[in-house]
Structure 1
Amino acid sequence: MSYADRVFIDMCRDILENGTDTSGEKVRPRWEDGSLAYTIKRFGVVNRYNLAEEFPALTLRRTAIKSCTDELLWIWQRKSNNIHELGSHIWDSWADEEGSIGKAYGYQMGVKHEYREGMFDQIDRVIYDLKNNPYSRRIMTNLYVHQDLHEMRLYPCAYSMTFNVTKKKGSDGLVLNGILNQRSQDVLTANNWNVCQYAVLMHMLAQVCGMEAGELVHVIADAHIYDRHVPLVKELLERKPLPAPEFWLNPEIRDFYEFTPEDVKLNNYETHEQIRNIPVAV
């Protein structure tokens, strides 16, 4: 069975059995009909995925790998904050009339900062350090910029990555590991989407920096299941996990800025039926 399925099942059961129900409390999100969107939540969920062993895509339902890769590249590679430059419509509810989500996500990735070695944006600095200072303990990104929060249409959910390079025992080959920090996550709609995105990112960065992808650690401060999602999650928990797919990344690409969604594939990806028309709280 897929390891990602096992992690997801255990996490959801823990949330449902041991989580805090926010019903009746003061909450921000609302459903499309205007009613308050309550959750069952767990604090401080930590999930670990060894990317050298398995790609962490769910089989309980399909994760659209090309769409989630496109969104990842929209933020990390194109450094865009305009939904018209994104293939999917998942950000439509947060964009203004011109398609902008304000100074959020890709905007922050494109801001240049001054370092001793010169001016870099956050992505270029990560790549520079991985190639030149791989054992640095300062290789990280941050999207949660307080001075710009008032100009963001949505505060960043997955807000920082910390990279750390190790070696396999008995080998000189470098291994790229990463910690994804997330302040809040809608587990049904976004958990595996984010996990797959950052697993793809780890593989891409490892390849262009001459490394192998290692561990992805996902830290979620507030992992929650919305009230209207509970029956859908319970339906997923009844499904039998299937074998994990095989990950393929175009081996010809050596420049991070040349990757496209077409350079990523999940071979032998067998899944259960997709759950459609999932309500999204805004």
Structure 2
Amino acid sequence: MTLRHPEYQYLDLMAHLLENGDKRIDRTGVGTLSMFGAMMRFDLSDGSFPVYSTKRVYWKTAVKEMLWFLTGQTNIQSLLRENVRIWTDWPLAAYRKATGTEISQQDFEDRILADDGFAEEWGDLGPVYGKQWRRWKGADGKEYDQVAEVIELLRKNPSSRRMLFHAWNVPELSQMALHPCHMTYQFHVSNLGGDGLPKVSMMVSQRSCDMGLGNPFNICQQAALLAMVAQQVDMQPGELVWVGGDVHLYLDHQDLARTVLEREPRPFPNLKLLRRPDSIDGYTIDDFEVTGYDPYPAIEAPVAV
């Protein structure tokens, strides 16, 4: 019996959106085909790394973004230093609106990189993911490192049902460049007391998901996070379970969807972590060795801001 390639979960959702998606105007004004409620599961226990093959996914960029979240930083300057430009659209739009100047993205990014004062004023995204994950400010005035607390629980009480972190901090939503899309990360450990290493799985609840551009990045970087956490707590990666709320395809991504649906998925690559840092904070992109990735060509598509 040949098992169905797990990437078909993604392709099935794309086909469903094209055929049955609810056409609606969205926050960006671009418009989407939308559905409510979806789930995908990816088994990482054999070392596979779910980087979609039906269009090239720039997995290093995706993992760099995850590493940036883990630093707790919220300014695009550090991302640009890593040649990651995926967050520039929001501060660039804010700068153009506030100043009335039609500065190019390249000039804006160059200025962010060259001028720390300019970066501080215009490059910060507000209290987005990393701030909430690592420096959640409570009503008591204290800062809480949710990620460190989860790792501690995984080590000391792996049967807990309270191993999660999230980013939906209601009082700070209005200060964020973009409300959190992938909101909640919850962990579950199996094979406790059995033969071999315990297996840690992670479920991500995502309130809003752009299936054309966002989801391929999200799945890849979330798998990378699970691999890092598993290594830090001496466990084997288990399943990445992804749950979507408003799952949508932008109207100007329909050609992208039709193109990937014409392609037959190729085997997922394998991921190996080349060293074990002292903590979750110590990883760099050079620690990730991905082998066997053979995707179809990339497909360019616009980002809705």
TM-score, length-scaled by structure 2 = 0.83
2:126 matched residue in structure 1: 102
Q: Does residue 63 of structure 2 align to residue 69 of structure 1?
A: yes
What is the identity, as a one-letter code, of the residue corresponding to 2:56?
Answer: R
Find the partner of 2:21 among 19, 38, 52: 19
Moved >6 Å (runs of 4+) = none
Q: What is the deviation of 1:251?
A: 3.8
Q: For the structure 1 residues 113 and 274, does the alpha-carbon distance in structure 2 shift closer, same or farther, using more than 3 Å as the test?
A: same
Say if 1:40 and 1:226, in contact at 8 Å, map to a contact too.
yes
Q: What is the deviation of 1:10?
A: 1.1
Once the two structures are superposed, residues 41-72 of structure 1 have per-residue CA deviations (whole angstroms, 9 ceiling, x without a partner) of 11101111111133211111121221111100
What is the identity, as a one-letter code, of the residue corresponding to 1:232?
Answer: L
Instruction: State the distance in 2 between where 1:109 and 1:12 align.
Output: 30
The count of aligned residue pairs is 268
Matches within 5 A, 1:20-169: 20-22=22-24, 25=25, 27-29=26-28, 36-53=29-46, 54-76=48-70, 78-86=71-79, 87=82, 88-95=84-91, 97-111=121-135, 120-167=144-191
Instruction: State the distance in 1 between where 2:143 and 2:256 align.
Output: 47
Q: Does residue 256 of structure 2 align to residue 232 of structure 1?
A: yes
Structure 2 unaligned regions, length at least 5: 95-120
Say if 1:3 and 1:56, in contact at 8 Å, map to a contact too.
no
Q: What is the deviation of 1:150?
A: 1.2
Q: What is the deviation of 1:18?
A: 2.1
Once the two structures are superposed, residues 174-202 of structure 1 have per-residue CA deviations (whole angstroms, 9 ceiling, x without a partner) of 11111101010110101111001010100
Instruction: State the distance in 2 between where 1:57 and 1:69 align.
Output: 11
Say if 2:23 and 2:32, in contact at 8 Å, map to a contact too.
yes
Q: What is the deviation of 1:16?
A: 1.5
Say if 2:232 and 2:276, in contact at 8 Å, map to a contact too.
no
Q: What is the deviation of 1:105?
A: 1.1
Say if 1:74 and 1:80, in contact at 8 Å, map to a contact too.
yes
Say if 1:65 and 1:266, in contact at 8 Å, map to a contact too.
no
What is the identity, as a one-letter code, of the residue corresponding to 2:7?
Answer: D
Matches within 5 A, 1:164-203: 164-167=188-191, 170-203=194-227
| Matched residue SS, 1:106 | helix
1:281 matched residue in structure 2: 304
Q: What is the deviation of 1:255?
A: 2.3
What is the RMSD computed on CA atoms of the aligned residues?
2.0
| Matched residue SS, 1:183 | strand
TM-score, length-scaled by structure 1 = 0.89
Instruction: State the distance in 1 between where 2:248 and 2:269 align.
Output: 27
Structure 1 unaligned regions, length at least 5: 30-35
1:5 matched residue in structure 2: 7
Instruction: State the distance in 2 between where 1:193 and 1:176 align.
Output: 21
Instruction: State the distance in 1 between where 2:69 and 2:6 align.
Output: 24
Q: What is the deviation of 1:222?
A: 0.8
What is the identity, as a one-letter code, of the residue corresponding to 1:158?
Answer: H
